[in-house]
Chain A
Amino acid sequence: TLLGMIATDAPIAPSLLPSLLTSAVNKSFNSITIDGDTSTNDTVAVLANGAAGGQEITSESSEDYTAFQKTLTEFATDLAKLVVRDGEGATKFVTIHVTGSPTEFGARKIASTIARSPLVKTALYGRDANWGRIACATGYALLSEPGQPINEVEEVTPANISVSFIPGDGSPELKLLVNGEPESVDEARASEILEHEDLEIHVNLGSGKEEATYWTCDYSHEYITINGDYRT
């Protein structure tokens, strides 16, 4: 379960807080995954008491509203990332950045699917630059479910897709797939990149301008141990 509480002494009109929080959460807590299970109890609350004084934020069109929105979103994102870093048994902190999508919805769906894929996550634990599993998850993310009418959104064109690893230490990216064609991967360099705790997987769909980011972790033996032992 995810719980969160944010408190601020800034003065915010009560009617504006729900939209401020919803927007912030969609780009932070609603963009993380550890094991793909949505809890019965997830709650994030924000409280604003105005104790610091100053002008109350009363309009969505004010500069203060925009500034506070940015502060709250960044703050919530930092909190959400801490949850991922403490994922049960996690050894890696992974940013999934999907760009080049015709729609934000499609980018989010693909990022979320890659972030939840057990095979992607076990490959990351095994320090394997397994771009095939990333491409696989990208390819099924937008398919209709069995039994539903065919409603495939044509956002994924394999020949346009590029996948790369961006190391957490700021060194150059490692290209794995370029416009649907596999690169000759330097395994030693890949292993070096995957030694770090932080990693970004960049998937460029090459079909638009929308993007989305998800944060996830790897799956380790410890996850099974912890949850095999957790009792009702």
Chain B
Amino acid sequence: PAMSQTSIRHYSAPVEGAIPVAKQKYVPTSGTYPKGFLVSGTHVGVKATNKSNPDLAFLASETPCAAAAVFTKNKFQAAPVTVSRDILKRRNNKGIRSVIVNSGCANAVTGKGGMEDAEKMSFEADKCFGESSDGQGGSSIVMSTGVIGQRLPIQKILLKIPTAYDNLGSSHEHWLTAARAICTTDTFPKLISRTFSLPSSPSVEYRMAGMTKGAGMIHPNMA
């Protein structure tokens, strides 16, 4: 009881762009990225305190593609989990155009309003591709990460999705910025890429790139 608020140590996130020296070796300086994919990282300000860091990532395929996802088995599944699972199910894992991701707010335990927000994000991303509805519902997977129990500042996000589309590109910098945009308490962006071949087409060089985020609340159990 004698302790006051002043005795609480507060966490200071690394200043913008500052990656701890010990972690710098895990951040790639170049990469080989898959053909036909474009990415971006855009600042929205999902958290009011975020004045400049990208917090909206967009991953798009130039053509509709095959996709699959695994999702948390936590019974309190966030709205974007439910919406994305429905999209993949309705589409039988094909015809997917993009993944739109915000950090700063998880859109979890946000009720029906949260579901509507996740659907709006997916719909707004779809609109960027200028295609009329094919009757199968959205073609953009949506993800969110950050604080649980708060509604997304959805209008701010929706307004910036066209900008995120305009920002799309295929360079290493584009991929790295997108990887930064999904970070929360992470201290460095997590991005890797590689080339590989398959036995039936040994002369064809295939590419794979991936980004991930996570630092806390990590004990995944996905299916």
Contact = CB atoms under 8 A, between A and B. Distances in A.
Indicate whether A and B interact.
yes
Given A42-B220, A43-B71, A43-B143, A54 B198 contact: yes
Interface string B52-63: 000000010111
B74 interface: yes
Contacts of A40: 72, 74, 76-78, 81, 106, 108-109, 148
Interface string B98-130: 010100001111000000000000000000000
B221 A30 contact: yes
A83 B218 contact: yes
Contact of B198 (A2, A44, A67): A67
Contact of A38 (B73, B187, B199, B207): B73
The interface size bin for chain B is 35 or more
Nearest to A36: B219
Interface in B45-71: 59, 61-63, 65-71
Interface stretch (B5-13, B151-159, B160-168): B5-13
A82 B220 contact: no
B34 interface: yes
A7 B76 CA distance: 28
Interface of A: 1-10, 12-15, 17-18, 20-22, 25, 29-30, 32-55, 57, 62-64, 67-68, 71-72, 75-76, 78-80, 82-88, 116, 197, 222-223, 225-232
Interface of B: 8-11, 22-23, 26, 33-37, 59, 61-63, 65-74, 76-78, 80-81, 84, 92-94, 96, 99, 101, 106-109, 141, 143-150, 182, 184-188, 190, 192, 194, 196, 198-201, 204-223
Given A5-B99, A79-B210, 13 more contacts: A4-B213, A5-B143, A9-B37, A29-B212, A32-B220, A37-B216, A40-B76, A40-B148, A41-B143, A49-B62, A75-B208, A82-B26, A226-B11
